[in-house]
Amino acid sequence: MLKPCITSAVILRDESLEEDFKMIKSTGFEYLDFNIDVYLPGSDIRDGNFSGLYSKSIDELKEFFKPHKELAEKYGIKFNQAHAPFQLYVDGRDDINEKCIEVVEKCLAICDYVDCRYLVVHPINLAFTHDREYEKKVNIEYYKAFIPFIKKYKVMVCLENMFSVISRVVTEAVCSDCITAAWYIDTLNEIAGEECFGFCFDLGHMTLLGKHISESLKTLGKRVKILHLHDNDNIQDNHAIPYSYARTWGQYTVTDWEGLIDGLRAIEYRGNIDFEVATGVRLVPEEVRPAQLAYVHAIGEYFAKRILE
């Protein structure tokens, strides 16, 4: 496919759905990264508060998202991938975690309803309080619980490379090591007996940790099914639009965009070019938003062209 794709967070609002779908289409985008995570904040998960949208039945959720589905069809926009709420796990709280599994099933059902075939469910970072082997054990059991739902709804669950911040210092986290990330995907697919799991390569997280972008992609290879592309200052997870940050008086970009292109070309990536840039979009006056999104779309087309060279 190799088509530009844009996050729906900030851009797509329930109170102005038709206007926003129309604006998105006018900027050139035909694919959306569906932020169904915004309906369940992490603070509610940690508090065990599931009284909002995700307390509804699957049929009720389909009714809620019916306008999204119909307007997407009207304006020729497809949902390429989606975000599950973050983080759907609380260490030591089995009561909450049972609810979290139900939330993932509902997310997969929503994805199937709008014909979205990839859902990011973030892996669980337990390195603060447990060793890596325990973390692996918990994550494998966690994702195993989703296999029947994945097969039922035919939506692939994607893990993502994560990072942590300890005393304001960015550190490694679950799946930030690409060899370990590949192990997770291969192990889970072996358990499932088919390809139920893939990988979401988050470029911004890799940049924060100083990872070699091209080699990281080559290590993951065909496991990479979707992307999260955004820029940062190498200090914070800014989720800015590409080419926002520079080093050495503007001579070099902070993010290794050339490494991204090289790596995606090497693994013959043919998924969509997804821009997870809600923060960058939020900071720009709404009147300028169409021009900003058109610019991001142009970058996506440029990346696609370079990858196919």
Dist CA 10 CA 24 (whole Å): 12
Name all domains of the chain by residue range, CATH numbers in brackets. Answer: 4-307 (3.20.20.150)
Q: What is the mean pLDDT of residues 79-101?
A: 97
pLDDT at 157: 98
Dist CA 93 CA 130 (whole Å): 15
Residue of 193, 184, 170 whose CA lies nearest to 122? 184
**Tens of pLDDT, residues 113-126:** 999 999 999 999 99
Dist CA 92 CA 77 (whole Å): 41
**Tens of pLDDT, residues 174-233:** 999 999 999 999 999 999 999 999 999 999 999 999 999 999 999 999 999 999 999 999
pLDDT at 127: 78
pLDDT at 131: 86
Q: What is the pTM of this model?
A: 0.97
Dist CA 151 CA 110 (whole Å): 14
